[in-house]
Structure 1
């Protein structure tokens, strides 16, 4: 039977989209097929939340199946034929979705110009008719803690009295200082868990793009990145330049008459210097600066928006203060902030159990990625990123910080990193920034490196120069316990990333070599491929070592290891040096680790396809069910992972290095932002040690 949860409010202004997004995140961690249903929808614009859910969670659900009917049509139907007829129609629409999905997230009505009588009762009845659990959301904004407590208690009683299965209560947008008091008071008065989320001004801050759209402005300068910045404050220019500059705040939108060239250039110059970074400049009265001023503005702060609106400062101010930020597919940073807020203040394990989410037997790529984030957050570690000024690294850091995944250290010149971050509208928050050139620990690192490499003739003077390199500095941070792991390679070569690790961190006592795996996330399972990135032509002993290491990595990430030692022949059907190497490696694995399930030599199809396995190796415990596939050489492994990635649409997470005493991981120089996020999460999990207890099975 399809399960469902109905997220509903009791009025406007509750910021419910944060909770709806958070619940969707929980569902997609555990359930393969999640549907969305919104009983009633406004007909006058796009559904921003569904567009966000569809893009973020790769939903394939047809848009016309998401909605029951429009508010206007619902009001007419209810007036002419009664509530029962309206409910009946919406129930039919819901069950059409429920038949196609394992779990359905229902988005309640929004109480905004709906013309529906007793909207709360309608939501309660729909939830009951759908057989859905109910998660009510109460607005806590601008309310005292006692008032919030009373409203939440009344909301619970209202839904409970109408027979709803209320699984928990959420109070959203509470004053941060009142949050703990609200939670304590509600826990004493409600029989279900109650979570309180604090107000976060960045969620309600409009983006510059939203301001342009609302005010009908014209973009004179600025790129997509600049238009995506949040306008966290408004500073109106009227004073002389020295006074005006003192009033600027981080992330402010400067509002000034279009003929005040001094304020325009002054604000952009301040942004360029990073003191402070601004969201942009909005020019009133329809005035446009001359071409010389515009050319100078473009050189001072490339990408920073300069916008012209026809209205004067006073009416423009009234419109600006009325705009509230909205989450949408065009504002992914708001979504990351919202999820970080949800996950910090909601007991997600408890809520998952209460909404009766059963873990799917299948493991999709998204489930695996979600699990990485969840596990890395559960045992907080610090990861150092040597390429601190690289755009993709900064964007990944933005996601990691907003989601509260781990602590970060960025290496590089602090002023340059902060300037680049401000240009990208990235708030580095509590991230640590260290410049290896000027860091107080440089001398200590030089002594340590000279000690480690003395047998190679490295002096302390030479070491002092070597450790200023970001890759060596980051590696020494890990070695000396100032960071728990390192991720690099977005702009550096693999050799530049892992050579310092070989020299400084070295291999584990039980590892002969350093090798790598890719987690290959297929449509229905996760496979582990090794070694596809490091060792060109391992001998039998090294191949056995790769297999044992890969099995340990698989187990750490929740994939039950069943090892297939791949070759061009299966069993005893072939001979030759290449097959003999794999056969010997298989025997060595069995000798060293008799507890592991291993088969080899075996062809790829016999390893993963049960029907082929029944013909070629019917008695094997691995054939047809292999989860760890060990390739005989780098040529075979690298080509195979890329072929599967491209032709099967698999998500390849890695390479993940194994065999080092402490985790260091290499990125592809073509790595996407999400690849970097995943690799940092993996590195944090490696630093935690141990094996997965509740991670998704790769069976």
Structure 2
């Protein structure tokens, strides 16, 4: 039977979207068939609602499981006329249609947008929740509370109101609390008749702060420069009406500067500050009064390293409008979503919350589910991963995403001044004073480079390596980062965004070495198909492995598969199945299969086997009847690099599979390689994989 959870705001500005997103993330890990319903949607159709689109995008929900009911404009008409039937009937009808496709439906109530009709909206949300038979998750906003006692009282009032409305209370969550209040509210909040905890989320500046783009869109500001970096967070607002010297003393990184458009001195000073490495960089600038820059000043604003917006409003009116603006999650930049999910993971026990429902475990693993599981698995036992290519903007953007989602610690290598400049010019928000985020300037950290050089000499003395050569090696980020892994200063390394695979692997082979009993370093790709995850090895490292090496690759690939929740059934691929063919290439695969079986008699392996017999049950029944692997293989070992590399790319391009990797295996400590064409998401996923590998060592 489909179960429903109705997320209802109990106060205006509750930040309900963060709770809905976090709850959906927790539910998504428990069920393949999650649904999302907005009984009252923004815009003329559900497709226009930013929250519907956010959920669809974040959890890959198909249209039949991500829907809306009645538009907000129509809802207001119905409420004014006292006509509840159309609104309630539509919600129940859509919910019923969705129930055929869903195990659980997250229903996102209204946001108490009409402050003068909060009671009517509460009554409407409670009524619809009861009509749907959905339990209510009540969200209490604490941002406008003056004391913790106000919040504690609001919890009790919320329970009383929901009980009076005969609603089943699933949970009560306090959001946007002052950080210093969180522990007290959690400790003292009334738990209700079931004795379940009240979760408390602190106000999160990374979520609450609007972006420059949001300010532009919300207030209709014009653009006085190219719209690069409109996704910068506005960390503060500065009205620049003083002299330049005093203004610069007050300016801080991320400030949104509001100044009359004819204050060319402020414009020039802001540009100079942004270009000076030691001075703060504004998130953006708003020129008020309808004044436009002219001449050289106009050329300066056109080339500004931050967005310059314009408005006809006077400075006071503009500042008043901007200061009241708050960031939103719906339709937001992915890093804001990452910050929201990070806050949810820190403060809410998702397992406990979801355990309040009796949901079946999922049988299918979609690409979105697998990638979500990576992050959650990495978070379970936090590790420290080094990124040696810190001067690549993609690496820094990925680091920001990872830090906001808070699933592992990061050490970033590179020139400190260059990285600071890149963060400023690219609008990347990384504060290296934060816990879990470390910047190592390898070119200037002589003590660390000296220690690593001594260790390198010790490890490579048999190759005649001298101290001068070792010091020179430690100027290379790959060697420096790999030595951090070797010495245990970090738990793993991800590199290759700006370097070759050989550049990444070579240092690891020199002094990290292979695990005990492993003779070869190899790789796998996780191939994320529509409903399952397959493991392909080796498609990136070994050109033509012999039988013993193929056996090692099979065993290593099976171990990797199991680490990531894929039960290994290994197919040793060839152009022949069973005993139907012969030849040197087939014999190599047959011998590799025998080696695996001799060493591990209970190991589920089949070979030689053709790909079709490995994946198709009907073909397997005719070619290899009785096999426990044929027709249901999950791990595929290719006979050579040419076959493996071409096959994974063919499946990726032709079947629309998502290829995650290559993931290196066989090393004592995890080092993973990136493609030089990698995306930010590729980097985030590879870091999560590396952290998980480190957990198993």
Normalising by structure 1, what TM-score? 0.95
Check whether the contact 1:207–1:229 (CA below 8 A) recurs between aligned residues: yes
Three-state SS of the structure 2 residue aligned to 1:571 is coil
Please list the CA deviations of residues 31-88 of structure 1 after superposition, one character each: whole Å capped at 9, or x if unmatched. 323222111234479422222222222333169x722213453455466675456433
> Quick one: distance in 2 between partners of 1:218 and 1:29?
42
- 1:212 match: 216
Q: Is it true that 1:174 corresponds to 2:181 in the alignment? A: no
> Quick one: distance in 2 between partners of 1:44 and 1:211?
23
> Quick one: distance in 2 between partners of 1:469 and 1:253?
39
TM-fit CA distance, 1:413: 0.4
- 1:409 match: 411
- 2:649 match: 642
Alignment of 1:152-171 (within 5 A): 152-171=155-174
> Quick one: distance in 2 between partners of 1:414 and 1:76?
58
- 1:108 match: 109
Counterpart selection for 1:240 from 236, 239, 243 = 243
> Quick one: distance in 1 between partners of 2:324 and 2:357?
36
Please list the CA deviations of residues 260-282 of structure 1 after superposition, one character each: whole Å capped at 9, or x if unmatched. 22211211221222421210111
Please list the CA deviations of residues 69-121 of structure 1 after superposition, one character each: whole Å capped at 9, or x if unmatched. 13453455466675456433421222122223333210112222285863323
TM-fit CA distance, 1:616: 0.6
Please list the CA deviations of residues 614-637 of structure 1 after superposition, one character each: whole Å capped at 9, or x if unmatched. 111111111111111100000000
- 1:360 match: 362
Three-state SS of the structure 2 residue aligned to 1:682 is helix
- 2:69 match: 68
TM-fit CA distance, 1:30: 2.9
Which stretch of structure 1 is more off in the superposition, 477-486 or 210-219?
A: 210-219
Which stretch of structure 1 is more off in the superposition, 242-251 or 314-323?
A: 314-323
- 1:470 match: 477
Alignment of 1:680-691 (within 5 A): 680-689=687-696
Alignment of 1:179-328 (within 5 A): 179-186=182-189, 191-224=195-228, 226-274=229-277, 275-298=279-302, 301-302=304-305, 304-328=306-330
TM-fit CA distance, 1:187: 5.5
- 2:10 match: 10
Q: 1:142 and 1:329, CA in 2 relative to 1: closer, same or farther beyond 3 A?
A: closer
> Quick one: distance in 1 between partners of 2:72 and 2:292?
43
Please list the CA deviations of residues 563-615 of structure 1 after superposition, one character each: whole Å capped at 9, or x if unmatched. 11000010000000000000000000011122311100000111111111111
Alignment of 1:257-656 (within 5 A): 257-274=260-277, 275-298=279-302, 301-302=304-305, 304-429=306-431, 430=434, 431-439=437-445, 440-656=447-663
- 2:96 match: 95
Three-state SS of the structure 1 residue aligned to 2:639 is coil
> Quick one: distance in 2 between partners of 1:417 and 1:161?
57
- 1:694 match: none
Please list the CA deviations of residues 300-359 of structure 1 after superposition, one character each: whole Å capped at 9, or x if unmatched. x43x11122112211211211222212233422211111111111000111121133432
Which stretch of structure 1 is more off in the superposition, 673-682 or 153-162?
A: 153-162
Three-state SS of the structure 1 residue aligned to 2:621 is helix
> Quick one: distance in 1 between partners of 2:43 and 2:669?
56
TM-fit CA distance, 1:689: 0.7
Q: 1:328 and 1:39, CA in 2 relative to 1: closer, same or farther beyond 3 A?
A: closer
Normalising by structure 2, what TM-score? 0.95
Three-state SS of the structure 2 residue aligned to 1:246 is helix
Q: 1:53 and 1:291, CA in 2 relative to 1: closer, same or farther beyond 3 A?
A: farther
Check whether the contact 2:224–2:301 (CA below 8 A) recurs between aligned residues: no
Please list the CA deviations of residues 378-436 of structure 1 after superposition, one character each: whole Å capped at 9, or x if unmatched. 10110000110211111111110000011001110011112211222222232211111
> Quick one: distance in 1 between partners of 2:123 and 2:519?
67
Check whether the contact 2:199–2:348 (CA below 8 A) recurs between aligned residues: yes
Check whether the contact 1:487–1:680 (CA below 8 A) recurs between aligned residues: yes
Three-state SS of the structure 2 residue aligned to 1:242 is helix
- 1:696 match: none
Check whether the contact 1:29–1:366 (CA below 8 A) recurs between aligned residues: no
Q: 1:441 and 1:42, CA in 2 relative to 1: closer, same or farther beyond 3 A?
A: closer
Check whether the contact 2:5–2:170 (CA below 8 A) recurs between aligned residues: no
Check whether the contact 1:30–1:367 (CA below 8 A) recurs between aligned residues: no
TM-fit CA distance, 1:145: 1.2
Q: 1:330 and 1:73, CA in 2 relative to 1: closer, same or farther beyond 3 A?
A: closer
Alignment of 1:658-669 (within 5 A): 658-669=665-676
Q: 1:78 and 1:307, CA in 2 relative to 1: closer, same or farther beyond 3 A?
A: closer
In angstroms, what is the RMSD of aligned CA positions? 1.9
Which stretch of structure 1 is more off in the superposition, 531-540 or 193-202?
A: 193-202
> Quick one: distance in 2 between partners of 1:298 and 1:504?
51
Which stretch of structure 1 is more off in the superposition, 404-413 or 133-142?
A: 133-142
> Quick one: distance in 2 between partners of 1:42 and 1:458?
67
Please list the CA deviations of residues 240-285 of structure 1 after superposition, one character each: whole Å capped at 9, or x if unmatched. 2111111101210111222222211211221222421210111112
TM-fit CA distance, 1:201: 2.4
Please list the CA deviations of residues 109-147 of structure 1 after superposition, one character each: whole Å capped at 9, or x if unmatched. 222228586332332232222122221111111321111
TM-fit CA distance, 1:559: 0.9
Check whether the contact 1:205–1:231 (CA below 8 A) recurs between aligned residues: yes
Three-state SS of the structure 2 residue aligned to 1:432 is strand
Ranges of 4+ aligned residues in structure 1 off by more than 6 Å: none
Three-state SS of the structure 1 residue aligned to 2:159 is helix
Check whether the contact 1:34–1:101 (CA below 8 A) recurs between aligned residues: yes
> Quick one: distance in 2 between partners of 1:76 and 1:609?
56
> Quick one: distance in 1 between partners of 2:80 and 2:488?
69
> Quick one: distance in 2 between partners of 1:469 and 1:72?
61
TM-fit CA distance, 1:158: 2.3
> Quick one: distance in 1 between partners of 2:569 and 2:312?
68
Three-state SS of the structure 2 residue aligned to 1:326 is coil
Three-state SS of the structure 2 residue aligned to 1:453 is helix
Three-state SS of the structure 1 residue aligned to 2:8 is strand
> Quick one: distance in 2 between partners of 1:122 and 1:213?
30
Check whether the contact 1:167–1:193 (CA below 8 A) recurs between aligned residues: no
TM-fit CA distance, 1:194: 0.9
Check whether the contact 1:645–1:652 (CA below 8 A) recurs between aligned residues: yes
Check whether the contact 1:142–1:175 (CA below 8 A) recurs between aligned residues: no
TM-fit CA distance, 1:297: 4.5
Q: How many aligned positions are there?
A: 686
> Quick one: distance in 2 between partners of 1:62 and 1:528?
30
> Quick one: distance in 1 between partners of 2:208 and 2:97?
35
